[in-house]
Homo-oligomer: A and B are copies of this chain.
Amino acid sequence: MGDEETLREMAIVGNLSNEQAITAYKTAVLARTLDTKIINAQRQGIIGFHVPAQGQEMIQIATAMLADKEDLIFTYYRDLALYLQRGVPLSLIFDQMLGNSNDFQKGRQMPDHFSFKEFNFSTVQSPVGAHLPLTVGAAYSMRYTKKNGIVITTFGDGATSTSDFHAALTMASVYNLNVLFICENNGWAISLPASKQTKAEIYKKGAAYGIPGKRVDGNDLIGSLSGLQEAFDYVRSGKGPYLVEAVTYRIGPHSTSDDPKKYRVDEITDGSEKDPIKRLENLLLKMGVVDSNFVMTTKAQAKESVDKEMEERMNIPPTDPLSIFDDVYEKPTWIQEEERRDLNVSD
């Protein structure tokens, strides 16, 4: 999509103010800066692991922009920009990434497996797709208890092959539940290109369940917003579930443990022509909404706050080893109590 077209699209969305566009840009830059910081911290052994979200920021930001506070969001492990746009502070993100004693989850999970309940996020788990059937139950509960809001969930292209995806779409459709399924198709499931994941177009997979679908340009803020708007409207109006395929691009490796050179040799690029942040930046500059000075300041500020925040959070002590026996059950059974004593003694 060229810039001219994008401008026309913007008119279609209509309600995107300059302020909103600028906020989105700032979030995107912050997310990218944070991501880079974490990758470096991982290399230095400060943070254990990371799944970079670079390249996928814009669809995540658009999702957060259109979601209401009362909407419940089930993210997956690669949604850094989504949290930031929805207001999750850097401090909480670092606490989880570091697994320190401030971490809501008590350091129990790998980095990127967040659970920001206060911001109406659910909980992230590693098994791909396994959160999807939960979204359906949550939507059932919300309808049953007459709560406002819809359920939104994100997942990768690989997740569409899982049994959980099939289960979730089956149930969402049969019970006509308000779930907005957003597939962040970044073209890869680790080393498997999306073209080998499935021969169908992902947004058409709803056809097997009577669920409508739509493909949106996930690398473009305006494209994402206008595409998503229709989907949000559909689900909010109670018509049932909807499947969005956001075409996006994984700029980096699958994770800090991954070496994409093994499988991505023939098409490695820096991703810049698809880079959603560059695209928004260029658009804002071209439209005169911001100038190059603003761009520089934004980036510098992002870096400063990310650096500062991480330094601060690194001072927070780790959790007590004996706490590993908590939260297996509401109250530890005799087994956990005994094992806690065992660890305490052997320690």
Interface residues of A (CB under 8 A from B): 161, 163, 165-167, 170, 173-174, 196-200, 204-210
For the complex formed, measure the closest distance between the CB of A238 and the CB atoms of chain B, giving whole angstroms: 15
For the complex formed, measure the closest distance between the CB of A183 and the CB atoms of chain B, giving whole angstroms: 13
The 10 closest A-B pairs by CB, nearest first: A163-B163, A199-B210, A166-B166, A208-B208, A207-B207, A205-B208, A200-B210, A173-B199, A161-B170, A200-B209
For the complex formed, measure the closest distance between the CB of A131 and the CB atoms of chain B, giving whole angstroms: 16
- Copies of this protein in the complex: 2
B200 contacts A207, C-beta separation under 8 Å: yes
A199: chain B residues at CB < 8 Å are: 173-174, 209-210
A338→B163 CA distance, assembly (Å): 40
A309→B210 CA distance, assembly (Å): 48
The chain B residue with its CB closest to the CB of A200 is: B210
A199→B205 CA distance, assembly (Å): 14
A174: chain B residues at CB < 8 Å are: 196-199
A161: chain B residues at CB < 8 Å are: 170
A207 contacts B210, C-beta separation under 8 Å: no
A165: chain B residues at CB < 8 Å are: 166
For the complex formed, measure the closest distance between the CB of A116 and the CB atoms of chain B, giving whole angstroms: 30
Q: List 28 A-B contacts (CB under 8 A).
A: A161-B170, A163-B163, A163-B166, A163-B167, A166-B166, A170-B198, A173-B198, A173-B199, A173-B200, A174-B196, A174-B197, A174-B198, A198-B209, A198-B210, A199-B209, A199-B210, A200-B207, A200-B208, A200-B209, A200-B210, A204-B207, A204-B208, A205-B207, A205-B208, A206-B208, A207-B207, A207-B208, A208-B208
A166→B174 CA distance, assembly (Å): 17
A173→B208 CA distance, assembly (Å): 15
Extra contacts besides A200-B207, A200-B210, A205-B208 (16): CB < 8 Å: A161-B170, A163-B166, A163-B167, A173-B198, A173-B200, A174-B196, A174-B198, A174-B199, A198-B209, A198-B210, A199-B209, A200-B208, A200-B209, A206-B208, A207-B207, A208-B208
